[in-house]
Amino acid sequence: MQERLQKIISRAGICSRRKAEQLLLEKRIYVNGSIAAIGEKADITKDKVSIDNYILTNNIECRVILLNKPSGVICSCRDTHSRETVIDLLPNKYKKGMYPVGRLDKNSRGAILITNNGLLTYQLTHPSYDHKKVYEVLISGQPTNGTLSLWRKGIKIDGKLTKTALIEILAKKGSNTLLKVVLTEGRKRQIRKTAAKFGHSVIDLNRVEIASIKLNGLREGQWRELNQEEWHLLLK
């Protein structure tokens, strides 16, 4: 049965009908490979409806889970070495078709989103969307003002300049320093590599916020499912 695209997209849990209209105006919705127009209809059981590079699938209930990942747990759906993964921390009914969004290395802890929503994954991981991620990072030693200034401006890591970052000293912990680090990109082990460039090692790395979603008292190993209003805010 043919239905308006706004209704199809809203029912799939992607965004509101009003937001779907905006996506149509931005020419980001396609039907069978052609740019869709306001008022256009489609049959989700026969037509290929896509937003950016994400193809809508019929009759799949979208879920988004916020997990406070403990250190030592792998950000993966499965691990060939039988190490514990973030999916292992979820009840069985939430495991099928779910995968972590982005990365948080084994020795780091904190906020990670897990979903079966491909569009959300695309928008949270694609560099053009600039979603912020907030970390509390304990480093060895005490960085100079010059170090913090260079870190904020960006330095070359693996041959590529990092984006500007917000760096703030939260506290001195004996001979170590607790920093607040805000990034809008998610390169592999970026904070650890940057700290090492300046002669500091990372003692503890805790992500406390990802794309406006905060842990807010969620304990390590605990999780909660986001409501539609929360994860619609993640979709630009």
Q: Output 93 or 137, whichever has higher pLDDT.
A: 137
Contact yes or no for 64/225 (Cβ under 8 A): yes
Q: Tell me, yes or no, whether 203 and 226 share the same domain.
A: no
Instruction: Judge if 46 and 8 occupy the same domain.
Output: yes
For residue 28, give Cα distances in angstroms to 22, 121, 128, 201.
9, 16, 14, 43
| pLDDT above 70: residue 94 | yes
Q: What is the pLDDT of residue 31?
A: 93
Would you place residue 234 in the very low, low, confident or very high pLDDT band (cuts 50, 70, 90)?
confident
Active site (catalytic) residues? 105
CB atoms within 10 A of CB 4: 16
Pair 111, 225 in one domain: yes
Residue 195 domain boundaries: 132-210
DSSP reduced 3-state for 60: coil
What are 47's two structure tokens? 């037509």
- Do residues 204 and 153 share a domain? yes
pLDDT tens digits, 5-62: 988 887 776 777 888 898 899 898 999 999 999 989 998 888 888 888 777 776 567 7
pLDDT recorded at residue 235: 67
What is the pTM (predicted TM-score) of this model?
A: 0.79
Rounded distance, CA 34 to CA 135, Å?
Answer: 41
Looking at the fold, whether 183 and 206 belong to one and the same domain comes out as yes
Residues 144 and 178 in one domain: yes
- Pair (100, 44) in one structural domain: no
pLDDT bracket for residue 163 (50, 70, 90): very high
How far is the C-alpha of 50 from the C-alpha of 31, rounded, in Å?
Answer: 7
- Give how many domains the chain has, as a whole number: 3
| Shared domain check, 227 and 115 | yes
Same domain, 206 and 218: no
CATH number at residue 42: 3.10.290.10
Strand, coil or helix: what is 2? Answer: coil
47 & 152 share domain: no
CATH code for the domain in which residue 170 is found: 3.30.70.1560
Same domain (yes/no): 140, 195: yes
End-to-end CA distance of the chain: 29
pLDDT per position as a tens digit, 46-69: 888 888 877 777 656 778 999 999
Spatial separation of the C-alpha atoms in residues 80 and 2, rounded to whole Å: 44
User: In this predicted structure, what is the pLDDT of residue 218?
Assistant: 96
CATH code, 107: 3.30.70.580
Alpha-carbon distance 86 to 161, whole Å?
Answer: 30
Pick from 12, 37, 55: which residue ends a domain? 55
Q: Based on the fold, state whether residues 106 and 155 are members of the same structural domain.
A: no
